[in-house]
Amino acid sequence: MVPMQRVLKYHLLLQELVKHTVEPTEKENLRLALDAMRDLAQCVNEIKRDNETLKQITNFQLSIEKLSQSLAQYGRPKIDGELKVTSSEKRSKTDRYAFLLDQALLICKRKGDSYEMRDFIDLHTYQIRDDSLGEKDSKKWTHMFHLICSYGTQGYELFFKTRELKKKWMEQFEMSIHMLLRHQWGDKGAPCGTGDYGSTLKKNKSNRHTQERKKNELGLPKMEVCQEYYGLPPPPVAFGPSLRLSMGDIVELTKAEVEQLWWEGRNTSTNEIGWFPCQKVKPYVCNPPPDFSVYLWYAGPMERAEAEQILTNRSDSTFLVRQRVKDAAEFAISIKFNIEIKHIKILTSEGLYRITEKKAFKGLIELVEFYQQNSLKDCFKTLDTTLQFPFKEPEQRAISRPPAGGLKYFGSAKARYDFCARDRTELTLKEGDIIKILSKKGQQGWWKGEIYGRVGWFPANYVEEDYSEYC
């Protein structure tokens, strides 16, 4: 019998052996062994986690009076705590203690160290809606969101003591409901030996159009990256390639099970598909649009002809972002390039903004800021320019502003090592690259610089400064 703690460390030993093995056949055999031990370690950890979850559920079950259902079938516990509740039947706020599981919400009355079941809510038929009206940070129990039944039979308002608590609960609810939505899309037939295949086929045929319409309307569940992931640890060998994640990226889930540690999705920022640890993401909440009028590039509602009239006598690369008159929910970019005025439609769907299917952004501001630093030629081959001069910026200032390659810099440095940028604010460096230093006033140990027309941050200890320019 091998101690479990030792088994869980075998993959670390194999990892080192792979690093130091040169012979190709031996290296490949070690890689296979490493994948197998990683799979084993994950399996052991999942079993351990499941056992701990069952203990936790059993404790809940024993402490709640008048609970007739077994909680084991409703998934893992997610969060529990005090809140206030109103319902469509009872409008006054009532003190309650709630337990949220993957697929159900238990609303209880606290009785010392035990609880009495008051409402059991199966989340399959519910959705949430945020409501920030009337919230006051100085006043407790004003932070609320709605729990709405899809069939309109019953609704709840859940109140929380602070904004932070409300945010925590909303994130967990979003996660549960997203995952339930994912399960509802699956083409799940009856278990073997328990169903009538003829009736199942008839049901599937009659419901197919409704399900497809619902899927198209709702879109794939979206998650926001809350922790970076660059492929380590890798997903189990049977799953597929890993998916690189940077902070703030939006991921559309393609395969996700509540009880699994690894999910598959598409990163809307890179258009790549792969697997990642589920704890690296949180539910994506679409916030209301900000006030764009404070930005020098925003023109408000405007027709193409008016945009062309404004930009005709301006410098190349002057641009504006306008609200389309025919559709107030849509936007477009108008930019002058090579004497012509070009118009680019901004596609918006499910809270994301894009001008090409390859890359999506959380907001209009993020999209504009990205293309102020990166050329539009990646989307349109003949449009080799950035969004350089906002149209509200005075023309004299725009002309005198140095081009991207002529920024004022304070010396240069040579890259000593390779560095791979983790997000779009950083620079990727190769050993030997010469970087123009623009600023040393960033976070401790980080400088701002320019290389190959790109501006961003890089670690100062990866470069060697060239002092000859100061002589």
Interacting residues of 5 by C-beta distance below 8 A, sequence separation 6+ = none
Q: Say yes or no: 107 and 147 in one domain.
A: yes
On whether residue 47 sits in a domain, the answer given is yes
On whether residue 195 sits in a domain, the answer given is no
pTM of the model: 0.38
Phi/psi region, residue 187 (left: phi>0; alpha: psi -120 to 50; beta: rest), is beta
Q: Say yes or no: 227 and 331 in one domain.
A: no
Interacting residues of 24 by C-beta distance below 8 A, sequence separation 6+ = none
Pick from 230, 263, 283: which residue ends a domain? 283
Q: Say yes or no: 180 and 262 in one domain.
A: no
Q: Phi and psi dihedrals of 269, rounded to 5?
A: -80, -30
- pLDDT for res 208: 39
On whether residue 196 sits in a domain, the answer given is no
pLDDT in tens, 135-144: 666 778 888 8
On whether residue 332 sits in a domain, the answer given is yes
CA 319, CA 383: separation in Å to the nearest integer?
13
For residues 441 and 280, which has the higher predicted lDDT (pLDDT)? 280
Which position has the token pair 């990727």?
428
Token readout for 267 is: 């990163």
Give me the CATH number covering residue 309.
Answer: 3.30.505.10
- Domain hosting 309: range is 292-390
Pick from 283, 305, 334: which residue ends a domain? 283
DSSP-assigned beta bridge partners for residue 99: 80, 106
Pick from 168, 184, 200: which residue ends a domain? 184
Pairing status of strand 434-439 against strand 446-451:
antiparallel
CA 214, CA 209: separation in Å to the nearest integer?
9
Say whether pLDDT at 399 is over 50.
no
What interhelical angle do 163-185 and 197-218 show, nearest 10? 140
On whether residue 209 sits in a domain, the answer given is no
DSSP-assigned beta bridge partners for residue 65: 116
| Termini Cα distance of the chain | 70
AA letter at 190: A
Say whether pLDDT at 336 is over 80.
yes
On whether residue 427 sits in a domain, the answer given is yes
pLDDT band for 471, please (50, 70, 90 cuts): very low
Dihedral (Cα; 449, 454, 456, 457), 10-degree rounding = -60
Q: Say yes or no: 11 and 86 in one domain.
A: no
Q: Say yes or no: 74 and 180 in one domain.
A: yes
pLDDT in tens, 202-228: 334 344 344 434 443 445 678 889 989
Q: Where are the beta strands (DSSP E) in 400-467?
A: 412-415, 434-439, 446-451, 454-459, 463-466
Q: Is 113 helix (H, G, I), strand (E, B) or coil?
A: coil
Q: Say yes or no: 367 and 327 in one domain.
A: yes
Q: Phi and psi dihedrals of 224, rounded to 5?
A: -110, 135
What does pLDDT average to over the chain?
Answer: 78
On whether residue 253 sits in a domain, the answer given is yes
Q: Say yes or no: 301 and 276 in one domain.
A: no
pLDDT band for 179, please (50, 70, 90 cuts): low
Q: Minimal CA–CA distance to 86: which of 157, 183, 6? A: 157
Pairing status of strand 389-390 against strand 318-323:
parallel
Count the domains in the chain: 5
15-24, 120-129, 346-355: range with highest mean pLDDT? 15-24
DSSP-assigned beta bridge partners for residue 412: 436, 466
Give me the CATH number covering residue 78.
Answer: 2.30.29.30
Q: Is 51 helix (H, G, I), strand (E, B) or coil?
A: helix
Say whether pLDDT at 321 is over 60.
yes
pLDDT in tens, 407-455: 566 788 899 888 877 767 788 888 888 888 888 776 777 888 888 777 8
What is the chain's alpha carbon radius of gyration, rounded to the nearest angstrom? 28
On whether residue 417 sits in a domain, the answer given is yes
Q: Say yes or no: 113 and 161 in one domain.
A: yes
Q: Say yes or no: 30 and 86 in one domain.
A: no
Helix (H) or strand (E) run with residue 331 in it: strand 331-337
- pLDDT for res 153: 59
pLDDT band for 125, please (50, 70, 90 cuts): confident
Q: Choose the weakest-confidence range: 7-16, 76-85, 96-105, 294-303.
A: 7-16
272-286 CB burial, b ≥16 within 10 A, e <16: ebbbbebebbebbee
For residues 256 and 408, which has the higher predicted lDDT (pLDDT)? 256
CA angle 372, 402, 365 (to 5 degrees): 20
Q: Say yes or no: 78 and 177 in one domain.
A: yes
DSSP string, 120-172: EEEGGGEEEEEE-TT--TTSTT-EEEEEEETTSS-EEEEEESSHHHHHHHHHH
Q: Minimal CA–CA distance to 250: which of 219, 281, 227? A: 281
Q: Minimal CA–CA distance to 115: which of 88, 137, 129, 97? A: 97
Pairing status of strand 272-277 against strand 331-337:
unpaired
CA 205, CA 207: separation in Å to the nearest integer?
6
C-alpha count within 13 angstroms, C-beta hemisphere, residue 217: 7
CB atoms closer than 10 angstroms to residue 389? 25
- pLDDT for res 43: 77
Q: Minimal CA–CA distance to 373: which of 392, 360, 361, 387? A: 387
CB atoms closer than 10 angstroms to residue 433? 20
DSSP state of 242: B
pLDDT in tens, 25-77: 888 898 888 888 887 877 777 777 777 877 888 888 888 888 877 787 788 88
Token readout for 372 is: 């102020």
- pLDDT for res 96: 93
Say whether pLDDT at 461 is over 70.
yes
Q: Say yes or no: 269 and 322 in one domain.
A: no
Q: Say yes or no: 446 and 361 in one domain.
A: no
pLDDT band for 134, please (50, 70, 90 cuts): low
